[in-house]
Amino acid sequence: MWLKALLVFALIALVETVHGALRVRFLNRPLGNHRARQVGVFTGSALIFLIAWVTAPWLALPTSRAAFAVGGLWLALMLAFEVWVGRVLFHAPWPRILADFDVRRGGWLGFGMVVLALAPWLAAVARGGF
C-alpha cells in the first residue's frame, strides 16, 4: 500500500508542477500572480481529486483509517515539496512561502492541502468504497 501511495504522490507532484507552470504561463498576465494562485488552488484541487479517483481501485485502500493515513503522507510530502521548490529552486523567502497559506492575505493553499489530505478517502467514498 505504501509503495503505491508514494507512486501516486509522485504523479500528483508531477501534475501539480506542470499545472503550476501552465498557470504562470497562461493566467499570471491576465489575472495577476495573486489571483492566478487563488484560481490554481481550485484547479489543482480538482486535478488531485481526479488522480485520487482514477488510482483508487489500484491503491485499494482497505479502510477509512488507511485512506486518512495515505492522505497524511501525501500532505507531509507535498508540504516538504512546496517548501523545497520555494526555497531551493525559486529562492523565495519564508514570508513569501507562508503567504500562500495565510487566508487573511488571500492565500488559499491551505484549502488545497486539506483537499490533498482528504483525497484518498474522498475518492474511495466516491467510488463506493468502505
> Which pLDDT does position 13 carry in this prediction?
98
Share of the chain above pLDDT 70, in %: 100
Q: Is the pLDDT of residue 129 over 90?
A: no
Residue 18 grid coordinates: 506542470
DSSP SS3 for 106? coil
| pLDDT tens, residue by residue, 40-61 | 999 999 999 999 999 999 999 9
**101: Cα within 13 Å, side-chain hemisphere:** 10
Alpha-carbon gap, residue 61 to 70, rounded angstroms: 9
Q: Is the pLDDT of residue 62 over 90?
A: yes
Q: For 54-89, give the DSSP string.
A: HHHHHH---SHHHHHHHHHHHHHHHHHHHHHIIIII
For the chain, first and last CA: distance in Å? Answer: 16
Domain that holds residue 31: 2-126
CA neighbor of 13 nearest in space, from 97, 102, 78:
78
Q: How many domains does the chain have?
A: 1
Q: Where are the alpha helices (DSSP H) in 1-130?
A: 2-26, 28-31, 33-59, 64-84, 94-99, 109-126
Of 20 and 129, which is predicted with more confidence? 20
Mean pLDDT of the chain: 97
pTM of the model: 0.94
